[in-house]
A and B are shown apart, each in its own frame.
Chain A
Amino acid sequence: EAQVTQNPRYLITVTGKKLTVTCSQNMNHEYMSWYRQDPGLGLRQIYYSMNVEVTDKGDVPEGYKVSRKEKRNFPLILESPSPNQTSLYFCASSWDRVKTQYFGPGTRLLVL
């Protein structure tokens, strides 16, 4: 089954404790992206990747890192999480920048 998976789905952590949210897709898509969703603000793009070893900032990249060492995986790294990064995070993938994006189920993060 074609899908985008994220782990963990729920995470509670404390300020400053590094964490990684994984994202994996099994559709051989070149384009992958991370979004965060906050009440009243809609979906905002954090980072995106056009292909392996190619990543670029979205609209709200501060406090986040990403890597794209292989096509199927696109982890989101919070080196020193802060409470303002409490949010619902979505990973997405597509064939390229024009094609339909497929979204993962979301990761709900709470930073205390």
Chain B
Amino acid sequence: DAKTTQPPSMDCAEGRAANLPCNHSTISGNEYVYWYRQIHSQGPQYIIHGLKNNETNEMASLIITEDRKSSTLILPHATLRDTAVYYCIVRVAVNRDDKIIFGKGTRLHILP
């Protein structure tokens, strides 16, 4: 399984870009990188995913390094509502197994 490593917590000033790093050095060529977030104890919310190219949607941008061993989630203009735990996940599928591994995530604090 390609596990991910994220910093346990980060701070970001409101209105600034929040850059959340994730290391996935053992990722395989056909594995996607997904990002979810969880606000307080609500169900996790999908943010974005990618394979090798950079991706952007209305919520965030995802930058994946050329060797695919790390990625960065960018929230371009962070607001207080972006305070949450952010999970970087690599989707693993071996034969019919599909053990999805959520790590401990990064707790992002947006500071007013």
Interface residue ranges, A against B (CB under 8 Å) = 4, 31, 33, 35, 37, 40-45, 48, 50, 56, 58-59, 88, 90, 92, 97-98, 100-106, 108
Say what secondary structure dominates the interface of chain A: strand
A42→B104 contact, CB < 8 A: yes
Partner of A56, one of B36, B42, B96: B96
The answer for the CA separation of A43 and B64 in the assembled complex, in Å, is 23
Partner of A42, one of B41, B43, B87: B87
Closest approach, in angstroms, between the C-beta of A86 and any C-beta of chain B?
14
Closest approach, in angstroms, between the C-beta of A3 and any C-beta of chain B?
10
Residues from chain B with a CB closer than 8 A to the CB of A35 are: 102
Q: What total count of A-B pairs have CB within 8 Å?
A: 61
Residues from chain B with a CB closer than 8 A to the CB of A31 are: 98
The answer, yes or no, to whether B67 is at the interface (CB within 8 Å) is no
Across the interface, name the chain B residue whose C-beta is closest to A33.
Answer: B100
Closest approach, in angstroms, between the C-beta of B52 and any C-beta of chain A?
14
Interface residue ranges, B against A (CB under 8 Å) = 32, 34, 36, 41-46, 49, 87, 91, 93, 96-105
A100→B46 contact, CB < 8 A: yes
Residues from chain A with a CB closer than 8 A to the CB of B97 are: 56
The answer to whether A97 and B91 touch (CB under 8 A), given A42-B102, A48-B100, A56-B97, is yes
B46→A45 contact, CB < 8 A: no
* Residue of B44, B96, B101 with most partner-chain A CB within 10 A: B44
